[in-house]
């Protein structure tokens, strides 16, 4: 049996790893200098969304099943649909042709009349590509539910505590770093500084008399993602979750942005998509540091060249969409003592052989 495991980071990936280990009899302690879901796991848009990446689709589908088991009736039975908004028919058909790679999305082109019938909040001149995906949940409640299940399995949590990696490596048989954008800081020089970096998301919390039926996403964003680059760092989205209705979201590298500085820009263009946003009541802003890996896929497995030291990070905007299934993979690898159970496209062995970037995360 694997010796005691220490997990650094109480986001959804760290809590899921703890849960699956504890339920299989492993002694686990989760450390976090803030609290459960204090980072990106509790401050995002709350949309469980298809990854639009053939190499992670199976993991996403497993993750949806695990969330359904965990959350019960609070997990929507059916996706609300992601509506990608564009100016004209050719752009809508371009998106539908691309997402046709994934039959489960049932990509559908909607002319302005059909789009308005599906989504009455829209301006009347928008074309759309509708995808069958998107489960809105409360991100913090989901993370807390995973932590509660881990505790029920016997995992211990030491929160609001600074951690010393070297000390934990001396006192625990295995150490997992699942610290989101802090993973590089925790690991020091053991991984490249650019392996996991923050991609900052600012969202504006609003109140509207009528909420959208679908997740509304500016189609120019997804077209940019298809090419692996985004020229607009503040595209329009309007996403409704049990926690909040949010306009956003930015895709900013570098230093942490001030939410108050970006809120006007995010709100300025909103009424051209959803006219009622001109009268929206603003409740506040949230800033979220998405842990983006160098090639935009999760990094799971042993830290190269280090015995008994593991990393689970780099999920970008897909922590909710992949986090539980990632934790299951990590638990399997740790129990087997062999990271080769993790698919190569997700393996942390990529840290030794960087690959060209794939498309970025939307949410």
Report the pLDDT value the prediction gives residue 353, as an integer from 0 to 100: 66
Question: Same structural domain for residues 128 and 205?
Answer: yes
Write the CB contacts of 335 (distance below 8 Å, at least 6 apart in sequence).
2, 21, 24, 26
Q: Is the pLDDT of residue 227 over 60?
A: no
Examine residue 361 and state whether it is found in any structural domain, yes or no.
Answer: no
268 preceded by cis ω (within 30°)? Answer: no
Structural domain boundaries, residue 36: 5-73+138-196+294-352
Question: Same structural domain for residues 192 and 115?
Answer: no
Q: How far apart are CA 308 and CA 311, in angstroms?
A: 10
Write the CB contacts of 90 (distance below 8 Å, at least 6 apart in sequence).
none
Q: How far apart are CA 171 and CA 258, in angstroms?
A: 39
Sign of the C-alpha dihedral computed for residues 269, 274, 278 and 279 taken in this order: negative
E-assigned strand segments in 87-242 = 108-110, 127-131, 135-136, 156-159, 174-177, 196-207, 215-218, 237-240
Nearest to 107 by CA among 231, 219, 199: 219
Question: Same structural domain for residues 266 and 338?
Answer: no
Q: How far apart are CA 74 and CA 57, in angstroms?
A: 23
CATH number of the domain that 232 lies in?
3.30.9.10
Give the mean pLDDT of 187-192: 94
- Helices 89-99 and 219-226: crossing angle, nearest 10°? 50
Q: What are the C-alpha distances in Å from 207 to residues 68, 93, 278?
A: 28, 32, 11
pTM of this prediction exceeds 0.85:
yes
Give the mean pLDDT of 188-193: 93
Give the mean pLDDT of 209-232: 73
Q: What is the pLDDT of residues 30-69, one digit of tens each?
A: 999 999 999 888 888 899 999 999 999 999 999 999 999 9
Residue with tokens 């690959």: 355
Give the mean pLDDT of 336-342: 94
Which residue, of 240, 273, 290, is where some domain finishes? Answer: 290
Question: Same structural domain for residues 42 and 65?
Answer: yes
């Amino acid at each position: 049996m694997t010796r005691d495991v220490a997990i650094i980071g109480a986001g959804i990936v760290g809590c899921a790893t703890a849960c699956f280990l504890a339920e299989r009899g492993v002694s686990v302690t989760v450390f976090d200098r803030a609290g459960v879901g204090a980072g990106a796991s509790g401050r995002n848009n709350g949309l469980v969304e298809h990854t639009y990446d053939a190499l992670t689709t199976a993991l996403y589908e497993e993750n949806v099943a695990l969330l359904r088991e965990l959350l019960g009736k609070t997990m929507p039975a059916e996706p609300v649909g992601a509506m990608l908004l564009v100016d004209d028919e050719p752009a809508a058909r371009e998106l539908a042709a691309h997402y046709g790679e994934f039959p489960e999305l049932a990509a559908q082109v909607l002319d302005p009349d059909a789009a308005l019938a599906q989504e009455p909040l829209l301006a009347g001149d928008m074309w759309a590509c509708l995808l069958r995906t998107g489960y809105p949940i409360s991100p913090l409640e989901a993370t807390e539910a995973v932590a509660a299940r881990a505790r029920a399995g016997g995992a211990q949590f030491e929160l609001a505590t600074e951690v010393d990696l070297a000390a934990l490596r001396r006192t625990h048989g295995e150490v997992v770093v699942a610290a989101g954008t802090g993973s590089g800081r925790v690991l020091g020089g053991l991984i490249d500084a650019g392996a996991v970096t923050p991609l900052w998301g600012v969202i504006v919390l609003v109140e509207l008399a009528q909420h959208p039926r679908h997740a509304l996403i500016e189609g120019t964003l997804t077209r940019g993602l298809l090419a692996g680059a985004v020229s607009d760092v503040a595209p329009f989205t309007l996403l409704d979750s049990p926690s909040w209705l949010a306009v956003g979201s930015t895709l900013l590298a570098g230093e942490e942005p001030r939410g108050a500085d970006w809120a006007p820009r995010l709100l300025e263009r909103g009424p051209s998509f959803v006219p009622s946003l001109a009268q929206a009541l603003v409740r506040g802003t949230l800033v979220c540091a998405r842990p983006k890996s160098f090639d935009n896929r999760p990094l799971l497995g042993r830290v190269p060249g280090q015995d008994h030291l593991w990393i689970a990070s780099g999920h970008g905007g897909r922590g909710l969409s992949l986090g539980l299934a990632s934790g299951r993979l990590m638990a399997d690898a740790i129990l087997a003592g062999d990271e080769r159970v993790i698919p190569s496209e997700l393996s942390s062995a990529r840290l030794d052989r960087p690959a060209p970037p794939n498309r970025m995360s939307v949410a």
